[in-house]
Structure 1
């Protein structure tokens, strides 16, 4: 999440334009939620992305309401913007990648994962059909334009790591911020990128339309281990540590709601999960959306607990290319807590 964290009027303007989805049905997003009376704002790095599916599914299942919480879900196209909203105080939590907590710590911001939703990235490096002959592995990243959701995003992090791991320096290829969904697909079609890192349902649509193919698949723990050398905890609910310490009862309720969702997901089929989600999330059709969920399901935890060796993998990956972390000391124990999910 290498961003300059511009927290001026641009952030406020963006927030006003965001689509809001309120768990209590008739609720309003006006006014800053602060956790009082169970009113919480959570920013998601792309509500329609399957990697962040537990956020909207928890709402759809009514688990926030069951805990007496009134949760407003907001959406940003990339995790880097979501984190900016957290630091600026516009929201109380983010559903995004855990790796941002490490990057923020070395910048003097203490943020922690309170529910670990996934133990694999859920990300896929795809290559366009036109470029498939010259881009056959990460070793071929040199000289290429590669799509990421946003500069400083987790897709940017992982792309840089895969490059460095395979002998390509970060200045030898060009990351291009293309978002996800249709904007990513259009960039691939138009040739403005030769490949890129994205998630389902975008991956499923690219393969279905025969616009490209999967180059590196990190939707499973096995795929994560092969590409990154270990489990890579990704999607999580993370919050400012000071806020967590001051609102433990609220955080406990949030954790309970999310863990109930994870357990529900582990006992239901992809088709059953898809049926609970908003119909407009299935832009490629119901069958393709269900397949996208099925392909991504292995990334999710069943209990919200951080995998024991996950944080060390994330630190190793980030230090391989990120100059901010390379020589910095990271206190991994302060980047996550299992206090709430284990209770």
Structure 2
């Protein structure tokens, strides 16, 4: 090979390398552009449709890349979207209501609902067959923090059951199981898989599913800031479609199939237990069949918050709830 031929070959290789680099940069730019950072309030089987959407590629089908983070409480997850470290938060709706009430300009909006019932289970040391709501009178129940939707719904249940337990409401979400193990309460409200884990560790029993005690409510929702919503309606529309597909898939498949699809998100639980947890939630009807939030469920949210004295009667919170027509506006 002549010197000239060598130079020509090197030149061609440089050109090829240049186009490869440009192509890879373009892919990376597109991936970053379509990246959605989700911050979930906690990790639970309760949020199975979200994990299904990830594992079955429904987000990818919509051209979305998802980065999932987990907080310990709605406050932390909501703070992440306010600060811009996350795009979307999976939280209780009350956190958006509280910020809206403060008159923040870039207040959070709610554009989809993942769950429609309380996913907590009441755990206690008595036998399940001996359980009666009146047993809670005067007893200590570890609930979620004061002002959270799980706390307010449990308070609502005590109101309609006409019982007066002592509700412990100052223990953080991640510390509550340890507090119960150490003897801080007679009962505790927990999501799965925590409920079964604590049941086994403390010789307790799962006494009641709280989902059967109230009406439909936007219990766990997807929220983002007003600015993000107004600037990313096409992306949000794709996000909603992916979650809708997952909800429909869960409705049509059995618990073991669902458990198999999400087991990677729960490395400390075996398939048998995950299947059991999924079956519980399917039986209790906690998952929405569509993400749209209806007026009746919003009205019940208001009723629950007013009962807990966290919302003044007559306060209009409808502005923070966005439906499909709001999302598709301008698309």
Do the two structures share a fold, i.e. TM-score over 0.5?
yes
8 Å contact 1:116–1:233 — kept in the other structure?
yes
Tell whether 2:321 aligns with 1:335.
yes
* Partner of residue 177, structure 1: 171
How many residue pairs match? The answer is 296
Residues 315-326 of structure 1: matches in 2 within 5 Å?
315-323=302-310, 325-326=311-312
Query: Which deviations, in whole Å up to 9, do the C-alpha atoms of 1:86-114 show, x marking residues without a partner?
Result: 22222111112233333332222432221
Residues 16-27 of structure 1: matches in 2 within 5 Å?
none
8 Å contact 2:117–2:286 — kept in the other structure?
yes
Residues 67-216 of structure 1: matches in 2 within 5 Å?
67-109=62-104, 110-129=107-126, 136-137=132-133, 140=136, 142=138, 144-148=140-144, 150-167=145-162, 173-179=167-173, 184-207=176-199, 211-216=203-208
How big is the alpha-carbon RMSD for the aligned residues of Structure 1 and Structure 2? 3.2
* Partner of residue 11, structure 2: none
* Greater helix share, structure number: 2
Gaps of 5+ in 1: 1-32
* Partner of residue 281, structure 2: 296
**In the alignment, which of 39, 45, 54 is matched to residue 43 of structure 1?**
39
* Partner of residue 62, structure 1: 57
Higher-Rg structure is 2
* Partner of residue 3, structure 2: none
8 Å contact 1:52–1:96 — kept in the other structure?
no
Query: Which deviations, in whole Å up to 9, do the C-alpha atoms of 1:46-77 show, x marking residues without a partner?
Result: 13x02222222211111222212122111012
Structure 1 residue 321: Cα displacement: 1.2
The SS at the match of 2:110 is strand
**Against the structure 1 CA distance between its residues 331 and 260, is the aligned structure 2 distance closer, same or farther, given a 3 Å change threshold?**
same
Query: Which deviations, in whole Å up to 9, do the C-alpha atoms of 1:146-189 show, x marking residues without a partner?
Result: 142x454332232333344445679x532242525xx5444333
Gaps of 5+ in 2: 1-28
Quote the Cα distance in structure 2 between the aligned partners of 1:138 and 1:335: 37
**Against the structure 1 CA distance between its residues 197 and 104, is the aligned structure 2 distance closer, same or farther, given a 3 Å change threshold?**
farther
**Against the structure 1 CA distance between its residues 317 and 147, is the aligned structure 2 distance closer, same or farther, given a 3 Å change threshold?**
closer
Q: TM (normalized to structure 2)?
A: 0.77
Quote the Cα distance in structure 1 between the aligned partners of 2:240 and 2:129: 43
* Partner of residue 232, structure 2: 247
Quote the Cα distance in structure 1 between the aligned partners of 2:232 and 2:328: 15
Query: Which deviations, in whole Å up to 9, do the C-alpha atoms of 1:284-308 show, x marking residues without a partner?
Result: 4221111101111221112212234
Quote the Cα distance in structure 1 between the aligned partners of 2:318 and 2:196: 35
**Against the structure 1 CA distance between its residues 151 and 89, is the aligned structure 2 distance closer, same or farther, given a 3 Å change threshold?**
farther
**Against the structure 1 CA distance between its residues 186 and 331, is the aligned structure 2 distance closer, same or farther, given a 3 Å change threshold?**
closer
